[in-house]
Homo-oligomer: A and B are copies of this chain.
Amino acid sequence: MNPDLSPLADALAEAEVDGYLLDADSGESDQLYLSGFDAPDPFVTLYTPEETALLVSGLEYGRATEESRADEVARLSDYGFQEKVGEYGRTEGKHRVVAEFLDDYGVESVAAPERFPLGTADGVREQGVSVEVLDEDVVTEIRAVKTDEEVEHVHAAQRANEAAMRAAEELLESATVEDGVLYRDGEQLTSERVKEEIEVTLLRHGCALDETIVACGADAAGPHNRGSGPLRADETIVIDIFPRDKSTKYHGDMTRTFVKGEASEEVRRRYDLTREAFEAALDAVEPGATGKEVHDAVCDVYEREGYDTLRSDPAADTGFIHSTGHGIGLDVHELPRVSPEGGELKPGHVVTIEPGLYDPEVGGIRIEDLVVVTEDGYENLTDYPIRLELA
Contacts and interface: CB of A to CB of B under 8 A. Distances in A.
A208 interface: yes
A4 interface: no
Nearest to A332: B40
Contact of A117 (B42, B118, B122, B135): B118
B114 A116 contact: no
Name the 10 nearest CB pairs between A and B, nearest first: A114-B119, A115-B117, A116-B118, A118-B121, A119-B133, A118-B118, A199-B203, A200-B200, A91-B135, A118-B133
16 contacts: A42-B115, A91-B114, A113-B118, A113-B119, A114-B120, A115-B118, A116-B119, A117-B118, A118-B121, A118-B133, A119-B133, A122-B133, A199-B203, A200-B200, A200-B204, A208-B208
Contact of A118 (B27, B42, B112): B112
Contact of A210 (B113, B117, B208): B208
Contacts of A117: 114-118
A331 to B, nearest CB: 11
A152 interface: no
A137 to B, nearest CB: 11
Nearest to A192: B206
Interface in A79-132: 91, 112-122, 131
Contacts of A122: 133
A58 to B, nearest CB: 11
A303 B272 CA distance: 74
Interface string A195-213: 0100110011000101000
Contacts of A116: 117-119
A168 to B, nearest CB: 15
Number of copies: 2
A119 B112 CA distance: 9
Contacts of A112: 118
Interface of A: 27, 42, 91, 112-122, 131, 133, 135, 196, 199-200, 203-204, 208, 210
Contacts of A91: 114, 135
Nearest to A203: B199
A97 to B, nearest CB: 15
B196 A204 contact: yes
Contacts of A210: 208
A7 to B, nearest CB: 19
A200 B208 CA distance: 11
Contacts of A204: 196, 200
Contacts of A199: 203
Contacts of A42: 115
Given A114-B118, A121-B121, A200-B200, 13 more contacts: A42-B115, A112-B118, A114-B119, A114-B120, A116-B119, A117-B118, A118-B118, A118-B121, A118-B131, A119-B135, A122-B133, A200-B204, A208-B208
